[in-house]
Homo-oligomer: A and B are copies of this chain.
Amino acid sequence: MSILDTLTDSFKRFPGIGSRQARRFAYFLLNSPESFRNELAQQISGLSSEIKQCASCYRFFRKENGTTLCPTCIDPARDNTTLLVLEKDMDFENIHGMGAYSGRYFILGGSLPILSDDPARRIRIRQLLTRVESGASQGLKEIILAFGANAEGENTAQYVSKTLAPIAEKHTITITVLGKGLSTGTELEYSDSDTFVHALRNRR
């Protein structure tokens, strides 16, 4: 197999990329200046030395001064009483950028399809238990599960709730999920029953 095929196969592993676009990426790089290829290769292999994963929330951040915690986790202005559990870094970027939530975060690193076995290999459930235990001593009062509003997200929320239940009870910590209702763009003509029922219950 030529390096072109090997590189195409690597790009096929990228999210949302099929064979043809992977091939197009390979040719795009061949047609790019060698300097661009070398920069890109260095950026990719340099990720390990410049980015680390936060020891508390598990999101990726820029390494600096040997700290093991990301800027958000060490920010003294943030509220220790709530912990927002998200599926992935892209969710964090979107939500954190809104500036509407002032508590702490935790990145679960995935979600659980229905009937998936070995959940602990798919999501950071053990790390979350550890985080909740240590949070309890710093005033943690509520864990907010913020997953996608679909079957997989609900399955994940159920599993996480059930697994956290004992420790939450022990420390009197509440577990909540984001509220459902009409989201921007929902039309009543097309809304599903689940969405309407919650929107009706959450009316104000």
Contacts and interface: CB of A to CB of B under 8 A. Distances in A.
Interface of A: 2-4, 6-7, 10, 13-16, 21, 23-25, 27-32, 34, 36-48, 50-51, 60, 62, 86-91, 93-95, 98, 100-101, 109, 144, 146-150, 176-204
B28 A47 contact: no
Contact of A48 (B7, B24, B34, B87): B34
A13 B36 CA distance: 10
Nearest to A42: B41
Given A24-B90, A62-B4, A186 B47 contact: no
A104 B57 CA distance: 48
A204 B174 CA distance: 9
Given A3-B62, A202-B202, 6 more contacts: A4-B62, A30-B89, A37-B47, A86-B188, A148-B188, A182-B183
A105 to B, nearest CB: 12
11 contacts: A2-B50, A3-B51, A30-B89, A90-B189, A144-B200, A150-B184, A179-B198, A180-B183, A181-B182, A181-B199, A183-B199
A6 B74 CA distance: 25
Contact of A38 (B16, B45, B148): B45
A95 to B, nearest CB: 6
The 5 A-B pairs at the shortest CB distance, nearest first, are namely: A179-B202, A181-B181, A179-B181, A41-B45, A149-B182
